[in-house]
């Protein structure tokens, strides 16, 4: 499901540009052009993250942030027009997760959004992930196939967890790199292929199962047999 981002920004041109880019990246976007409306929307529980301008009509971004933090831990990235140390310090003191100075490159904003969303504590919901005979116990960091333990390195475990959390969905190399290695990873996208080979050897080949599938030209997917 697409994550929903709230954009509180009164500069219409900038807001439209950011909205288009976010939608293009697959996010849903809600917009408010003043602080008061923005605060109400941010408290609605519908959004995964808030992009909050500082200079806003009706209620400043700082005031929105202060009030928001009384009730909500939603990630907030401040958009500031000035590269002012005071703004940054008071924004971070008031509970902002990050800030970005206008004008910004959209790629930088997207990277910060991904980082802020990743910092969110994972929901303590399902701690066992399965695919056919494979069971992953996330808390105990254990993987079994037909009840037999599989010895995985940390990266292999993370990659497998990512695939299992998205069971049935084909994930591109870029998505896997971003999810497992982080957006600041510097290197070759073939790291993903290398680790997929490790997983195949330890799981599919060792146990005679077929769980990890290649979708040519697209990426990888875990499917139950
Ligand atoms: Ca403004």
Q: What is the pLDDT of residue 164?
A: 94
pLDDT at 110 over 90: yes
**Residue 78, pLDDT above cutoff 60:** yes
Lowest mean pLDDT among 80-94, 154-168, 184-198, 202-216: 80-94
CA of 55 to the centre of ligand 1 (A): 4
Instruction: Kindly give the distance from the C-alpha atom of residue 25 to the centroid of ligand 1, in angstroms, as a whole number.
Output: 24
Q: Is the pLDDT of residue 139 over 70?
A: yes
Of 6, 79, 66, 75, nearest to 42 by C-alpha is 6
- What's the gap in Å between 136 CA and the centre of ligand 1? 47
* pLDDT score of 149: 94
Taking the centre of ligand 1 as the mean of its atom positions, its distance from the CA of residue 8, in whole angstroms, is 9
Q: How far apart (Å, rounded) are the C-alpha atoms in residues 203 and 221?
A: 14
Whether the per-residue pLDDT at 218 is higher than 60: the answer is yes
The rounded Å distance from CA 116 to ligand 1 centre is 22
Q: What is the pLDDT of residue 121?
A: 59
pLDDT top residue among 209 and 180 = 209
Distance (angstroms) between ligand 1 centre and the Cα of 76 equals 16
Write down the pLDDT at residue 142.
93
Give the model's pLDDT for residue 71. 86
How far is ligand 1, taken at its centre, from the CA of residue 24, in Å? 23
Task: Find the 58 Cα to ligand 1 centroid distance in Å.
Answer: 11
Pairing of strands 148-150, 219-222: unpaired
What count of other Cβ atoms lies within 10 Å of the Cβ of residue 47? 21
Spatial distance between the Cα atoms of 62 and 205, rounded to a whole number of angstroms: 56
Q: Which residue has the higher pLDDT, 93 or 184?
A: 93
81 alpha carbon to ligand 1 midpoint, in Å?
8
Mean pLDDT taken over the chain = 88
Per-residue pLDDT band for 101 (boundaries 50, 70, 90) equals confident
Q: What is the pLDDT of residue 20?
A: 96
Average of per-residue pLDDT across 137-163: 92
Range 58-79 average pLDDT: 91
44 pLDDT exceeds 80?
A: yes
Query: Which carries the bigger pLDDT value, residue 118 or residue 82?
Result: 118
CA 10–ligand 1 middle distance (angstroms):
5
Whether pTM exceeds 0.85: no
CB atoms within 10 A of CB 88: 17
Q: Is 145 exposed, middle or buried (0-12, 13-18, 19+ CB in 10 A)?
A: buried
């Amino acid at each position: 499901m697409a994550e929903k981002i709230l954009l509180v920004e009164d500069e219409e041109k900038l807001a439209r540009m950011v909205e288009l880019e976010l939608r293009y990246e697959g996010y849903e976007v809600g917009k408010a052009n003043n602080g008061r409306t923005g605060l109400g929307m941010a408290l609605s529980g519908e959004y995964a993250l808030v992009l909050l301008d500082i200079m806003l009509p009706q209620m400043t971004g700082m005031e929105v942030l202060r009030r928001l933090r009384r009730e909500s831990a939603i990630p907030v990235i401040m958009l500031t027009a000035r590269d002012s140390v005071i703004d940054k310090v008071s924004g971070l003191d008031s509970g902002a997760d990050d800030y970005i100075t206008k004008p910004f490159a959209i790629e930088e904003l997207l990277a910060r959004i991904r980082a802020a969303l990743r910092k969110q504590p994972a929901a303590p919901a399902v701690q066992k992930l399965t695919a056919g005979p494979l069971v992953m116990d996330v808390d105990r960091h254990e993987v079994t196939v037909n009840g037999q333990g599989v010895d995985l390195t940390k990266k292999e475990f993370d990659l497998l967890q990512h695939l299992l959390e998205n069971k049935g969905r084909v994930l591109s190399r870029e998505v896997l790199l971003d999810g497992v290695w982080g957006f600041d990873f510097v290197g070759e996208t073939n790291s993903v292929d290398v680790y997929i080979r490790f997983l195949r050897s330890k799981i599919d080949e060792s146990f005679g199962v077929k769980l990890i599938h290649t979708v040519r030209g697209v990426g990888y997917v875990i499917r139950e047999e």
